[in-house]
Amino acid sequence: MAEQEASGLQVLLSTLQSSCDKDVILNILSVLTDLLSLGTGRRIHYVISKGGSEALLQALTTAARTEPLDYSTLLPLLCLLARVGQRDRKFGLKVQKAEATDIILSLARRNLGHHLHLTHCLWVLRVCASNVTTGTTLGINGAMELLFKVITPYSKRHVRTIRAAIEALAALLKSKSNSRRAVNRGYLGGLLRLYQDWHHKDVSNNYIYIRRGLLLCLKHITNIQLGRETFLGSQGMEILFTSVQDCLTCKTLDPIITTVTQILRKCYPKESLPVATVRSSYFFLLPGNAKAEPPCEGSEGDYESDGEEEAEKDLDNEDVESKEEDYDLETDVNKLRSRPVLDRPEEELGQYEAMCPELSHNFQELESESEEEKSLENRTESFPSTPSRFIPSATSVKHPNYRLRNQSATEMGPDPGEKDFKVPLQNWTKKEKCRWDLSEEKRDIVEAAQDADSCEEEDPARSRTLTLHPLPNEAAWYKKMFYPECEALINPSPGGRLESSDIVTTLLEKHQGDIPFHSPCFYIARAKCVKSIPDYKDLAFPDFWGHQSPPYTKPMLERKYGVQRDKVLDDVRRLIQPGDVIGRTVFDLDEASHSSPGAPGCLTFFSKFESGNLRKAIQVREFEYDLIMNADVNSNQHHQWFYFEVRDMKLAVPYRFNIINCEKFNSQFNYGMQLVMYSVKEALQGRPCWLRAGHDICYYKNHYRCNAAAGGDTRGKCYYTLTFSIKFPHKDDVCYLAYHYPYTYSTMMSHLDILEQNRNPKKVYWRQQTLCQTLGGNPCPLLTITAMPDSKKRDDLEQFYNRPYVFLVARVHPGESNASWVMKGTLEFLVSSDPIADLLRKCFIFKIIPMLNPDGVINGNHRCSLSGDDLNRQWLTPNSQLHPTIYHAKGLLYYLRSIGRAPLVFCDYHGHSQKKNVFLYGCSIKETLWQAGCMVDTAVITEDVGYRTLPKILDKVAPAFVMNSCSFLVEKSRESTARVVVWQEMGVLRSYTMESTYCGCSHGLYKGLQLGTQELEEMGSKFCLGLLILHLKSLPCSKKVMAQAALLLDLEEEITDRAQRSCSNSVLETDDEPPCVEEIDYNADSCSDGEEDFSELDQEIQECLSWVEGETEDDEVTAGQTCSSKALRGLYISSQPVSNSTALPLRSTALGVHSGFESRPA
């Protein structure tokens, strides 16, 4: 049947090409018109596939050569060509092949006086010009001159013809040679004047499509450099900026506003960032012969994707990029198979035996427990446990200002062979508790000071004096808060500084913290031993004081309509109305003179503290500042993480901040994400919280470029602006702003100290060792956590030694602080007294590296280590000198594999800035080959699908986790990441990257909410719960373990259903973000403007046909034109064939049942 219908259509088209009978041709055109005017575009595509375009072009060529011209045939032909041609991607080439370009131009010239006929010709001309080559040919043959005659001068007569001519001109100007020709002939100025005429005289906004068409012409002309220069010289910026101000209040004018905004952004004169060089302000001399060279620049996706494990896509090339993404999939089966090879001599693996003391421990303490340990156990039993379904909000924030002199030596940890890591403070196990009382705090301060003295004796370079910056000078407020004894803090003597112990004691006396797992004293003790390149002498108050999760979760920020274009127009105002622009540098890492307090009424910025990142601050207007982030050390890129202090603000004033050197092409800031803010005054009043903050947030491409002199290999790189406004909660407060909840290296180290001290040593086996020293001289801790054996009986010890390993790492990318919060939740759960945690410890031995890139975290990097390398791209061949943490982490994994103890699960904790939710990336041979379109012989390629078990479990037990966001593809560009290397070289089936969003969730219990630290920590504990369920489902377990599990877990309830999640997680989530409320072209040089929407031209044609039925175009249309138009109605809008025709009496219903068309008859 399908063949019969196809042959029927082919007979029609063949007859149309060959017949000279007017009635036959009109009959066929009537059938085709009916056929293509109903239903969807599938019909047109089917006609195209059967040679419809060629048949119509041939018929047009034949009809155009007949004298006199028969418009009863030509008009329906032209109408059909316009409908079919706009959906035929090769239509322009077919027009050239049929030699129809001159015919169409000739028809248009002959009908300059007949606007109905001319409109039909212009429709086809527009469709032909969609092909750049054909458009260039038309331009050479005088098409633009013809169109300018039609659209000028300004007139409201024959507006449909003018609209068709303007849209055809816009299509022609997509050709750069046509744009150049238009500029050289002065058409750009004419278009500007014509646009002004239509803008001023279209008071009722009846001709928006004409005004927008003129703007599209200007947009295409300004795609070339000559066009932009001429546009600027013709005062185009001023003209369009002034005109768009009249449109902002009318929502129906959004198409005009959007196009104007795109033109203004594109034509804004490009300039370099206001820095001497885009390379980092910090430099680190690499060991040996290695030199810190600028990294090789790849595409934007190359250096922006990995921790996100997904290449970014240019919005204007999504189809191309998606093909390239499939091409990136590894299709070589031999490379996908496990490759157990060594990258180092086998004898080197012996050094890692000392990092597995649990395998040789004799557990003598099980029989000879000291009284001190018993006392500690009794104390820890009263320590609040960590429930399995709730993670206590943790501390750790980065910002009190502590002045350190000669910030230097990090505490040099013991050799890897040592079983215990010695912490700086003396006798912490005996004297410190989680809930601190004042007497113990004072004692800790004394001990910390004693420790500092001992440090100084060992190494004089470590000597430093710790003080906090003076807090805001508001005496009345502080007297009320601190009483008179704190006045010295407010007004320190000019010649000296207060000792940190005095300040800390005063603060803690009046504000005793109640933050679990955090002690300011522990933090100071750890922070003063950190080694940094800038030699930090200040400590951020939030890190010192701590962070407590607020009692509520904030919803994603609702995007204010038009916020982005308002910001862009505000930027343009700087250029054309610079009267109120201040342009004063108020903070500069490169110039110490700019780092002092600024002028009255000006904000004061600061960022020289651990994890801080702000390079320069420029006051643009009274309440607006441009901010520039520092590049990663020894690099000239990776600008995303920011963390800085700001003070001297006014109350209830919206301050606008513009971070102008972002690199990613899009951001979750466009989809509801907010930055975080910490207020010192709020903290001192009992609310020490990092809170989501900011309004009018958007992210867009700006006019800054990187030139060769400033950036070396990054010449021509585009930058993006993150802009946000904030009203600070207090006058003259000290506030901290950050990309995400900060988590410093010192926070982690002090957190580990507290966990070790508060664990139950009879139940929790804990060893903290040093994996290695980093490039910067900071110890990278390695943890071993499991359950102590029940006794020294042979069976119990054998069960202990034979427990499978789980290997967890985090924070290889310094800017992904969310990974540390998830890891924090994992660690607190593992050492807690929760019975599920106790059972989990009995099932596994955990090897954990909580921070793989300490140097990057300390120095405020976003992605790299001090070597300027992305450490998650070094796992294939790590260098022992440049990438020590990766080299030794991989060595430890090699060792475990060599003794037959390869981990059951490996997971690398990351953060993702482009997607919502929490999800896993894994590795699968079959899924990769299937996605790449390769044939998979299941008899040859066998694969254990157990890699999917853990994500499926997490999807059920973790509210923030979404299985549908997970991916198990192996890409060539990811072959050197931890996930892929551990999977291939260690043979670990369950090797994952866990990605946590910076933003929030689109599914499940937290749908529509931004994730806070409590939710991230909860994810860490839920990951542990998932591991336990995985063990119970996948591995043989003893009856004892199963009995304990049965008491603690209802597995059916845990693994099968969650009422809050089942309804929402069934919807497949796509990788791409949903569109913004307001679509703005992120690539200002793009031609993507939406004018190719098929329905637009179809609607225009239908409107014109309705006009042919008898509607007048405007008041000036003559009666003769209307009557002649009515006479044409039956020729190509009637559903019936011509009454006196006898040839080919076919109706459109004859083709209505073909599978390619609508199922119902036409």
Identify any residues that bridge with 721 across adjacent strands, giving them in sequence order.
700
What is the SS3 assignment for 720? strand
Q: Can you tell me the distance from the alpha carbon of 1094 to that of 1091, in angstroms, rounded to the nearest whole number? A: 8
Q: Can you tell me the distance from the alpha carbon of 500 to that of 513, in angstroms, rounded to the nearest whole number? A: 17
Please answer whether residues 248 and 204 qualify as being in contact, where contact means their C-beta atoms are separated by less than 8 angstroms: no
What is the SS3 assignment for 921? strand
Q: Can you tell me the distance from the alpha carbon of 926 to that of 942, in angstroms, rounded to the nearest whole number? A: 8
* Residues written for the chain: 1162
Q: Which residue carries 């520092």 as its tokens?
A: 630
Per-position DSSP letters for 12-50, written without gaps between them: HHHHHHH---HHHHHHHHHHHHHHHHSS-HHHHHHHHHT
Please answer whether residues 213 and 163 qualify as being in contact, where contact means their C-beta atoms are separated by less than 8 angstroms: yes
For 426, what's the count of Cα atoms within 13 Å in the CB-facing half-sphere? Answer: 12
Structure letter (DSSP) for residue 1007: B
Identify any residues that bridge with 772 across adjacent strands, giving them in sequence order.
780
Nearest to 852 by CA among 824, 799, 888, 879: 888
User: Which amino acid appears at position 567 of this protein?
Assistant: K
Show the DSSP H helices in 19-131 as ranges: 22-37, 41-49, 52-64, 71-85, 91-97, 101-110, 115-128
Nearest to 282 by CA among 780, 815, 868: 868
Residues 6+ apart with CB under 8 A from 1139: none
Nearest to 672 by CA among 581, 558, 580: 558
Identify any residues that bridge with 654 across adjacent strands, giving them in sequence order.
727
- Is 995 one of the catalytic residues? yes
Q: Can you tell me the distance from the alpha carbon of 991 to that of 921, in angstroms, rounded to the nearest whole number? A: 8
Enter the tokens of residue 611: 């994890």
Residues 6+ apart with CB under 8 A from 548: 393, 395, 514, 515, 687, 688, 689
Nearest to 908 by CA among 815, 810, 988: 810
Identify any residues that bridge with 320 across adjacent strands, giving them in sequence order.
none
Which is the catalytic residue, given 995, 1017, 1078, 1091?
Answer: 995
Please answer whether residues 907 and 893 qualify as being in contact, where contact means their C-beta atoms are separated by less than 8 angstroms: no
Q: Can you tell me the distance from the alpha carbon of 757 to that of 423, in angstroms, rounded to the nearest whole number? A: 11
Between β-strands 805-810 and 845-849, what pairing exists: parallel, antiparallel or unpaired? parallel
> In which region does residue 2 sit, left (phi positive, over 0), alpha (psi from -120 to 50) or beta (all else)?
alpha
Q: CB atoms < 10 A from the CB of 1106, how many?
A: 11
Structure letter (DSSP) for residue 380: H
User: What DSSP element (H or E) covers 586?
Assistant: strand 584-588
Q: Can you tell me the distance from the alpha carbon of 752 to that of 848, in angstroms, rounded to the nearest whole number? A: 12
What is the SS3 assignment for 450? helix
User: Which amino acid appears at position 407 of this protein?
Assistant: Q
What is the SS3 assignment for 995? strand
285-287-288 Cα angle (round to 5): 125
What is the SS3 assignment for 425? coil
497-516: b (≥16 Cβ within 10 Å) or e = bbebbbbbbbbbeebebebb
Nearest to 133 by CA among 103, 89, 167, 165: 89
Query: Could you give the residue numbers annotated as active site?
Result: 995
